[in-house]
Amino acid sequence: MLQTLLPILIFAALALGAAGAVRRIRLWRQGQRTPMVWRRLLLMPRRYLNDLHHIVARDKAMAHTHVATAGGFVAAMALALVVHGFGWRNPILGGLLLAASAVMFVGALAVNRRRLNSPTRPFPRKLSRGPWQRLSKSLIAYSLGMFLVSLPIVGFTPGNLVGVAPTVLGGGVLAIVLAAVLVWGLLEMLVGMGWGGPMKHAFAGSFHLAFHRRPERFDDNHPDASPKKTHDVHRGSRSTALFPLDLTAKTLGVEKPADFQWEQLLGFDACVQCGRCQSVCPAYAAGQPLNPKKLIQDMVVGMAGGSDARYAGSGHPQQAGGIDVGKPGFGHHRGGPSDAIVPQLVEAQTLWACTTCRACVEECPMMIEHVDAIVDMRRFITLERGETPEKGAAAIDNLIATDNPGGLDNASRLDWAADLEIPRIQDRPEGVDVLLWLGDGAFDMRNQRTLRSLVKILRAGGVDFAVLGEEERDSGDVARRLGDEATFQRLAERNIATLSRYRFARIVTADPHSFHVLGREYGAFGGDYVVRHHSTFIAELFDGGRISVAAPAQAETVTYHDPCYLGRYNGEFAAPRQVLAALGVDVVEMERSGYRSRCCGGGGGAALSDVPGRARIPDMRMEDVRTTGATTVAVACPQCTAMLEGVVEPRPRILDLAELVAEALVEPAPAVPETSTSSPSREEEPA
Amino acid sequence: MAHEALFKPIQIGKLTIRNRVVSTAHAEVYATDGGMTTERYVKYYEEKSKGGCGLCICGGSSPVSIDSPQQWWSSVNVSTDRIIPHFQNLADAVHRHGGKIMIQITHMGRRSRWDGHHWSTLLSPSGIREPVHRATCKTIEEEEIWRIIGDFAQGARRVKEGGLDGCELSAVHQHLIDQFWSPRVNKRTDQWGGSFENRMRFGMEVLKAVRAEVGDDFCVGMRICGDEFHPDGLSQDDMKQIATYYDATGMVDFFGVVGSGCDTHDTLANVIPNMSYPPEPFLHLAAGIKEAVSVPVIHAQNIKDPTQAERILKGGYVDLVGMTRAHIADPHIIAKIKAGQTDQIRQCVGANYCIDRQYQGLDVLCIQNAATSREYMGLPHIIEKTTGSKRKVVVVGGGPGGMEAARVAAERGHDVILFEAEPQLGGQITLAAKAPQRDQIAGITRWYEMELARLGVDVQLETRADDSMIRDLQPDVVVLANGGHPFLEQVPEWGYSDNPDESLVVSSWDILSGKVEPASNVLVYDTMCEFSGMSTADYCASKGSTVEIVTDDTKPGVAIGGTTFPTYYRSLYQQSVVMTGDLGLHKVYREGDKLVALFENEYTGEHEERVVDQVVIENGVRPDESLYYALKERSRNKGQIDLEALYAATAQPTLAGSGDFALFRIGDCVAQRNTHAAIYDALRLCKDL
């Protein structure tokens, strides 16, 4: 009976699943369309095995589980098609099918075990319940059912097993039970895959990998790619520049799900709700109303239409649904492909809580681009609705009026250096080696100390450098992250026009945000420069023997805080550590460091939107520092410095790498050249 | 950004100043060997530049002529080319840290003394005597006028050749230029006096000669008065007219404005306003001048706080603020603002110890910062942590000496416990601050309180440390700074008793602390003639008492410096306090419910009596030595301070030795001196701990 039923079941499930898949593709294609090049699906297997799996493999147990479950399923499904679907009941194939089912079964048990809730092993908060909880049972059902139903092919029958010939009645009952288990498994695995069950992730994920908007993330030979593959840094370019917005478009930014690029909708749909993003999101940890996992699910709800009632994971803190798994209360947020997202589906505060730190993107095994989506939606709020939160709006107004977010006279950008007599590039028509880009930290007294230290280092290293002075404008970073693409593009174009008038080999800056924007994002507007963060440049000065430092007088323990825009955005993890090593201080690493560094809370305009939470992100970060026992935290970003110094004392001291180096310089060049030798009073003969 | 206006660079002439803060010209009294700047002088200004000061104008009243005596105040001698290489050292030291430096040049005319050195005949437009310096002078002749004009030009040349960034012509404080300006002093009828143009002529010729000598690019400014505050002197309107007149020449790069003239004791006190004045009392005068001129205006006088300075600059009253005493108290004021350490700024309290020493021809020192002007000796403004062993330091006494010892020892990284018997820190500063118009002196204590808290010193108040307590702590170093008590037992006939009910007299401490209420008719007997007696009299008068203050010295308050006795006199005269000199107190006895004080005249031997309700005696401090002698024998150094090491400001040799604790005593528990002496000893003793 099963022999006749099975092919029907399999093909019916496949057909139903395929129908669902067509509908699913249509849902994705509600987004802004680019041609769908089917050929790109061929890219998928390599991207899966090489790139995606590399991220999954950061959690070894989960990686093995997934290999067993997914590998077992794919093999078992293919073999089942041949053996049961087309009826080629070859014992060898049957044996392979049994083996594949068994492997999948073992994997399924591990999946299930992970999701048990016991006093010693509580259910992981990052995971979702609901259909995802069911999936582990379905996997068991499918693999067990497929195993049992395939036993006869290699000569085993239930009768053989129990030693008695099955009665017709007994065999019938068993067959019905087995058929039911198989139907359950096939419904979940094949029908569910097409119709939005948890297995959708395999289908959407495969397409997402194939049609990913940032193909360079998979390109190991990209110029930006990590130099070598390590166990925790995935390969490919970090591809972190935001996509430019066409300012002539009818609607600016994303108002409704259909305004996203279709690949973005596809990407959201690939989410497996594993909650890795939730675990690393600083805003979520601080109890601000943002859970990146929920946000992606909100996007799926919007794409498919309906409410978030069926969502069974942690919600956005402070909002209905609470932060506890399974707490009822979802369902208040509704959306549809052509309905405005904010505030019905996602509240604006959720979008403004993001620090754009990319920790979620870095961790996402499905390589979903959360930050792009958030900025797309911010663009609409800022450019179409003019509803940037208060201090953000003020910063933008200032940028428009004064070219810097503080609303200060841009000509005062060099005030802090009035006594340093820094050469201006305007006076160096022949060009300089280094253009020192000051950034808006030049207006901040705290950061001026960093800049003075950097100038001291450059002088000690005999670096030929100059500054733009009042001609330098804000890079546009904050405007862009706050969604004001128009102001960003205006600033970018004007800075590029300014830079085009002068000759320099490279730009050096102590501001990772300027570093990122100038180095990564100006290219789209015709500004291509060699840009070095000061940590990289100082490491080069050490390497070249151009500066040297004295050994520390007293033993000091230092930890290093990776700025997001230097580390995760641009992959520079090594140079700052080389600098610290050159200083000879004891370095201890925080648990969250390198690519997993926790944001200071100051990126993406979050310091301006200042969304309230349970805790402050910099306080949490300082707690990470304190845990190491370090007395100093070395920083490499003005924003991180400001955020961390906002933590109440007593706390470890906060010093920029440049300050640490300048402090230790041997035979430091005078902070100021001996003006007396160049003063006209000395050169003129007395009358 | 905080302090945006303060940190806005400014162009003066061709010169860029990195911020708006100026250390204005004052006589340092550090130039020696015929007026050459010393290492001390250079280091004093280098420290200000290191601390972030934008512009230093050094050398208050540096004479350009040989007959403007330099020696009385050891001022810089600009009348000889010998000064040029010294200027180069000075300029290099200041420029090394990004600061700019100019010098004030002048001829003081009649405002000096003639009775020494070259025995110069002093000069003035009309030979009228100067009262503050009791200086008689001759009427200047035309030839001398032209000689001095030439001297100014040569002086300016030397400044320029020495690499300084500019010079300021002093036309203030009744120097020769403004002696010509002021109709109060200039009674001439020739072309140098009378009409406005004639009175302006000397200054104008000086300016022209200087400009011709140094050219257009060298910075030349003028320091002028805002209002002489004399009915026959120059008013604010006159000064505006004068400023406009000189500004119109285009030869002046900046004006410095000082409110008030200063050729009387009373007006002189205005020039360097002590703690009895409100903040920036004469800003309006400077703002008036700023209205009249087209170039930057600098104004000093009681601007001590960064927020105050920012407010003044933001308001646009003047272009640069002079924070001169603020820099004497803390040359790192700017660096601390920039480092977000405004709470750590040691703020000037207006005690005027600096300027009152200067008027006596003594080197300028700060009452609270003993490192100022001693940088050349290695006394640090920023105390380095020790690289040696961590010691346990016990300090007894929370007066200025004890607080400084605790601060410095804690900065060195030691474990410090400070015991103070009273419920608050401060010692005698707390008493001093009780007097009318003297409350700001408590700022000294306030800074120490904040620093000791920041440094984690274990301050135990209301704890009278004794021998066994100290022994139990097993200290490495014990610093006694436990002061003393009012010395009323010196003359038994005064009738002092430990029992307040029997004692015929009370101390100034009893009154100022509030322990004893002033009676209705009070006699203050003051042998010290310093602040304490005057403060006590002022305090009693302010509470409504009828007060007479009597001294056996020549006049009450006679030992108080020139910028502070006038403010006491203003208050005492206003309240009809009788001030009597030359009477020694022989005996006090009771007669009915009154007290009779019997005096003897110092010079005639005649007796006088006063019948009063209360006799308050200020007879100085008697050291409390019992704790010292209890500890002395057991200490490894028998309580002795190595004086060679102390005076050289190097480590005490006993610290390197072993044995029981090292014992040092400082301040009034040794012998009465003053706040600065206690702090200085504490600093030089503890800086190498």
Last residue of a domain, one of A385, A420, A440: A385
In B, minimum Cα distance to A413 occurs at B8
**ipTM for the predicted complex:** 0.86
Mean pLDDT for B501-514 is 97
Across A484-496, b (16+ Cβ under 10 Å) vs e yields bbbbbbbbbeebb
CATH code of the domain in which A409 resides: 3.40.50
Span between the terminal Cα atoms of chain A, in Å: 121
Q: Are residues A153 and A176 in the same domain?
A: yes
Q: In 3D, which of B287, B296, B342, B277 has the Cα closest to residue B15?
A: B296
> Domain containing A654: what range?
557-664
Distance, in Å, from the CA atom of B39 to the CA atom of B62, rounded to the nearest integer, reads 18
Q: Do residues B92 and B77 touch, judged by C-beta distance below 8 A?
A: no
For residues A182 and A267, membership in a common domain is answered with no
A171 within 8 A of A149, measured Cβ to Cβ: no
Can you give the pLDDT at residue A159? 58
Residues A530, A568 within the same domain: no
Report whether A656 contacts A641 (CB < 8 A): yes
Domain presence at residue A518:
yes
Chain mean position to CA B140: 34
Chain B contact probe: residue of A556, A648, A676, A684 with most B CBs at under 10 A: A676
Last residue of a domain, one of A543, A574, A589: A543
Min Cα–Cα distance to chain A from B388, Å: 11
**DSSP secondary structure string for all residues of B333-388:** HHHHHHTT-GGG--------HHHHHHHTTPPP--SS-TTTT-GGGT--SSPPPPSS
Taking the C-alpha atoms of residue B218 and residue A431, their distance in angstroms, rounded to an integer, is 32
Neighbour tally for B246: CB within 10 Å:
21
Closest CA of chain B from A107, distance in Å: 58
Which domains are assigned to chain B? 10-377 (3.20.20.70), 392-485+623-686 (3.40.50.720), 488-619 (3.50.50.60)
Confidence class of residue B1 from pLDDT cuts 50, 70 and 90?
A: low
A679 CB within 8 Å of a chain B CB: yes
Looking at residue B13, the DSSP 8-state letter turns out to be T
Residue A267 located in a structural domain: yes
A377 and A497 in a single domain? The answer is: no
Contact predicate A297/A271, CB 8 Å: yes
How far is residue B571's CA from residue B409's CA, in Å, rounded to a whole number? Answer: 41
Task: With beta carbons less than 8 A apart as the criterion, state whether A377 and A346 touch.
Answer: yes
Q: What is the pLDDT of residue A171?
A: 67
The model carries a pTM of 0.89
Q: Using the beta-carbon criterion (under 8 Å), do B338 and A445 form an inter-chain contact?
A: yes
CB pairs under 8 A between A and B: 69
Q: Among A408, A418, A675, select the one facing B9 at the smallest CB separation.
A: A418
Question: How many independent structural domains does chain A possess?
Answer: 4
Indicate the residue of B4, B19, B160 with minimum beta-carbon distance to A681: B160
Residues of B in contact with A447 (CB under 8 A): none
Q: Say if residue B589's pLDDT is above 60.
A: yes
Q: Both A277 and A417 in a single domain?
A: no
A238 within some domain: no
- Shared-domain flag, residues A19 and A131: yes
> Given pLDDT bands bounded at 50, 70 and 90, which one contains residue B429?
very high
The CA distance from A367 to A364, in Å, is 5
Which tokens sit at B432?
A: 């001093």
Same domain, A455 and A600: no
Residues with Cβ within 8 Å of A249's Cβ and at least 6 positions away in sequence, in order, are: none
Domain end: A491, A521, A543, which one? A543
Distance CA A173, CA A179 (A): 10
Residue A441: closest C-alpha in chain B: B1
pLDDT of residue A556: 86
- Please name which of B394, B339, B400 lies closest in space to residue B669, comparing C-alpha atoms: B400
Separation CA B55–CA B99 (nearest Å): 6
What is the spatial distance between Cα A311 and Cα A331, in angstroms, rounded to a whole number?
Answer: 8
Do A290 and A415 fall into the same domain? Answer: no
Let me know: does B521 contact B614? Beta carbons within 8 Å.
Answer: yes
Chain B interface includes A674 (CB < 8 A): yes
Judge if the upstream peptide bond of residue A343 is cis by omega within 30 degrees of 0. yes
Which residue stretches of B606-649 are H helix?
626-632, 643-647
The DSSP bridge pattern shows strands B521-526 and B614-618 to be parallel
pLDDT digits (tens, 9 = 90+) for B139-195: 999 999 999 999 999 999 999 999 999 999 999 999 999 999 999 999 999 999 999
Q: Specify whether the CB–CB gap between A504 and A488 falls below 8 A.
A: no
DSSP state of A599: P
Domain shared by A373 and A425, yes or no: no
Rg (CA), chain B: 27
- Token match 């546009």: residue? A476
Using a CB-CB distance cutoff of 8 angstroms, which residues of chain A are in contact with residue B342?
A: none
In terms of CA atoms, which chain B residue is nearest residue A417? B18
Asked if the structure places residue A390 within a domain, the reply is no
Give the pLDDT score at A232: 57
Select the residue of A412, A420, A448 nearest B98 (Cβ to Cβ).
A420
Amino acid A236: pLDDT? 80
Residue A323: the pLDDT is 43
CATH classification of the domain holding A279: 1.10.1060
**Measured between alpha carbons, how far is A108 from A103 in angstroms, rounded to an integer?**
9
3 state SS of B171: strand
Whether residue B21 is predicted with pLDDT greater than 50 in this model: the reply is yes
Asked if A462 and A587 sit in the same domain, the reply is: no
Supply φ then ψ for residue B649, to 5 degrees.
55, 45
Q: What is the DSSP letter of A422?
A: P
Start-to-end CA distance of chain B, whole Å, equals 40
Q: How far is B41 from chain A (nearest CA, A)?
A: 18
**Residues above pLDDT 90, as percent of chain B:** 96
Q: Is residue A223 in a domain?
A: no
What is the phi/psi pair of residue A136, to 5°? Answer: -65, -35
Alpha helices in B15-171 (DSSP H): 39-50, 83-95, 142-161
**Sequence-ordered strand ranges (E) for A241-348:** 306-307, 334-335
pLDDT below 50 — which residues of chain A? 163-165, 168-169, 322-326, 669, 671-687
C-alpha to C-alpha distance for B170 and B29, rounded to whole angstroms: 17
Task: Examine the pLDDT at B582 and tell me if it is beyond 50.
Answer: yes
Beta carbons of A445 and B99 less than 8 Å apart: no
In a domain, A391, yes or no: no
Structure tokens at A7: 């092919």
Select from B4, B14, B220 the residue whose CB has the most chain A CBs within 10 Å, as the one to mutate to test that interface. Answer: B4
Rounded to 5°, the CA angle B310-B313-B318 comes to 150
Is the C-alpha dihedral spanning A226, A227, A231, A236 positive or negative? positive
A675–B contact, CB cutoff 8 A: yes
Same domain, A569 and A528: no
Q: Chain A residue closest to B2 (CA)?
A: A445
- Whether residue A308 sits in one domain with residue A418: no
Q: Is A433 on the interface with B (CB under 8 A)?
A: no
Query: What's the maximum distance between 2 C-alpha atoms anywhere in chain A?
Result: 129
